[in-house]
Structure 1
Amino acid sequence: MLKPYPLQFQPEFKERVWGGRALEQFGLTPPEGHIGEGWMIADHPNGTTTVINGELAGKGLDEIREAYGQEWLGAKGVSEKGGRFPLLIKLLDCNDDLSVQVHPTDDYEGLPAGELGKTEMWYVLDAKPDAKIIYGLTEGVTRESLRTALESGDILGSLRQVPVEAGDTFFIPAGTVHALCAGVVVAEIQQNSDTTYRLYDYNRPGLDGKPRELHIEDSLNVTSYEGAGATTMKTGGLQPGEWLQLAACEYFVVEKGIVDGSWSLSTTKDSFTILVICEGSGTLTWGDNAASLSCKAGDCFLLPANLNGYTLNDKMTVLRSYLP
């Protein structure tokens, strides 16, 4: 029987009009073009990642889910709706402003068949001076006033603009109007969904030279005008060997930890664990024979629920994600 081991995947790269080449700083080799997204761990019809290490090399995450199911992914590790892996892990390079957008909840009747809603969180890996994001609506904005602002071309006055720097965290529940802006690189942990409703796209052409589709009615329908519970956090000053909870909801828990030396940890039978290396480098060791993998910034690993004990070594900043 195959023993569980940490899985690393070949990213699925996505060209976006707002993308650039910043993902190369992590040692990744995206194809030519404006690469905005690296889908690092994905099991979705629009992108499925393939294992690059160990005995399962060449297998897609969908094949692993079907072959090993709850044994490797945990009691909660397969989504009840759609039957797929429940999370999608990305690295995003925002060389230009993203469209102003909002995501639906799971119960929105306009969702495509089999698709989930989309609650997500961002951890800022890098940010140029004066970088910002759009994060929610200004006070008092209603459906009617937002529609009026869209029709008049003055929507930016209805949006909160927030300065960002590396280490900032943003939790973005479905219904929160948001947009990453130019000069930001983030790690994104989200529900396994590719549904985005665009409110505004700066009247710019897409990669094909034509304006990208807007989804005004869907956007107005799913926006939470009183707020959906979005929260933000500065994460500096964390001591090695401690987990700081960045986001917790019914879909995921995300924590930040600092490795300085050796840190022994363990998975649980309820859920897989996802590790995103944000800074530094080191090794990940596991098992009776102390097998090891090298780790560096930008690497993402899926640890099976039945891996049990593992150790992070050397100097690294790490995000740990799992199902609640």
Structure 2
Amino acid sequence: MKPYPLQFKPQFKERVWGGRALEQFGLTPPEGAIGEGWMISDHPNGITKIVNGALAGTGLDVLREQFGAEWFGKNGLSGKSQRFPLLIKLLDCNDDLSVQVHPTDDYDKLPAGELGKTEMWYILSAKPDAKIIYGLKENVTREQLAAAIESGQVMDQLQEVSVKAGDAFYIPAGTVHALCSGVVVAEIQQNSDTTYRLYDYNRPGLDGKLRELHIEDSLAVIAYEGAGASYVDTSAMQAGEWLTIAESPYFKVQKGLIASDAQLTTSKDSFEIIVIAEGEGNITWGEHHEQPVQAGQCFLLPATLGVYSLEGKLTVLRSTVPAAE
């Protein structure tokens, strides 16, 4: 089997905070408030299947079993779960998400087989005055935060940040955070579905009941001195430039602006994930092979693909997995 850029059928998730904005990418989510499109996933809560080429219909879990060691590269499997290491999402935040935090891999109360969750956000679009919650205010302690939760004043302890299209946020495990209404986001994260809710605005969920909070777990995993969260404003980028916008032990993400074409090469160390943030064009590889691409589409490029080109007027997120330290 010769490697080629793999596209997957998204797994859509209805969320109390979701909407219909993912339709702007030509996607066809089911009816309802759709908050998440899991674009590339090897998680038991949503396995995506290939929709293009010779492997159409094959799940990412099956692909891992058949070709993982070769196609994913030597860095390309999660050591703890042995699943594909990343989960790629598009998020439609029609309303505020819960205030939440994720654990690290070594948290002793993780569900069996589950990982911690370090992630990054790239803001695809943002309404005027859009914002996110991004960490605690300076010098907030566990005791202060617990008291604020008890008294219903937790929002007073959180840092709000205004956002615009093109902003990138790195969110290591232990960072308190929440996307707020009016943003559409590409999320690149560890392959995990573990979230601890600290606060949810006392609103009912889709079933009409208050959603579960996880106060003790949240207080236990928060990095009160900061986990190394960082922000990159990419608005000054020029055509032809590649800028690293997030770097962690789990992923490295670069943003590229392509005016006509860019020739790139995969490494035997890692697969690549290509997220088309804006524009349309083609991926070309091998002897005259071509895959049309457009905004909102995501592709898994096997480590053995080799030389390929991105052609067109494109804004691209390119993700790889670094070597384990």
Pairwise TM-score range, normalised by the shorter structure: over 0.9
Corresponding residue of 1:297: 295
Task: Tell me which amino acid in the other structure corresponds to 1:211.
Answer: L
Shift of 1:76: 1.2
Corresponding residue of 1:202: 201
Task: Tell me which amino acid in the other structure corresponds to 1:244.
Answer: L
Corresponding residue of 1:323: 321
Shift of 1:78: 1.1
Task: Tell me which amino acid in the other structure corresponds to 2:134.
Answer: Y
Corresponding residue of 2:82: 83
> Which has the larger displacement, 257-266 or 167-176?
257-266
2: CA distance between counterparts of 1:246 and 1:169?
6
Task: Tell me which amino acid in the other structure corresponds to 1:65.
Answer: R
- 1:104-253 mapped onto 2 (5 Å cutoff): 104-253=103-252
Corresponding residue of 1:9: 8
Secondary structure of the corresponding residue to residue 284 of structure 1: strand
2: CA distance between counterparts of 1:139 and 1:26?
39
Shift of 1:140: 1.7
Shift of 1:239: 2.0
Shift of 1:45: 0.6
Shift of 1:242: 2.1
Shift of 1:33: 0.4
Shift of 1:82: 1.1
Q: Percent identity?
A: 70
> How many pairs align?
322
2: CA distance between counterparts of 1:237 and 1:163?
18
2: CA distance between counterparts of 1:140 and 1:90?
32
Secondary structure of the corresponding residue to residue 67 of structure 1: helix
2:64 maps to 1:59: no
Task: Tell me which amino acid in the other structure corresponds to 1:300.
Answer: C
The TM-score, its normalising length taken from structure 1, stands at 0.99
Secondary structure of the corresponding residue to residue 257 of structure 2: strand
Shift of 1:233: 1.0
The equivalent position to 1:312 in structure 2, one of 310, 313, 320, is 310
Corresponding residue of 2:43: 44
Shift of 1:55: 0.3
Task: Tell me which amino acid in the other structure corresponds to 1:306.
Answer: T
1: CA distance between counterparts of 2:55 and 2:17?
34
Corresponding residue of 2:21: 22
> Which has the larger displacement, 239-248 or 7-16?
239-248
Flag structure 2 segments of 5+ consecutive residues without an equivalent: none
Corresponding residue of 1:100: 99
2:260 maps to 1:261: yes
The TM-score, its normalising length taken from structure 2, stands at 0.98
Q: CA RMSD in A?
A: 0.5
Task: Tell me which amino acid in the other structure corresponds to 1:273.
Answer: E
Shift of 1:237: 2.1
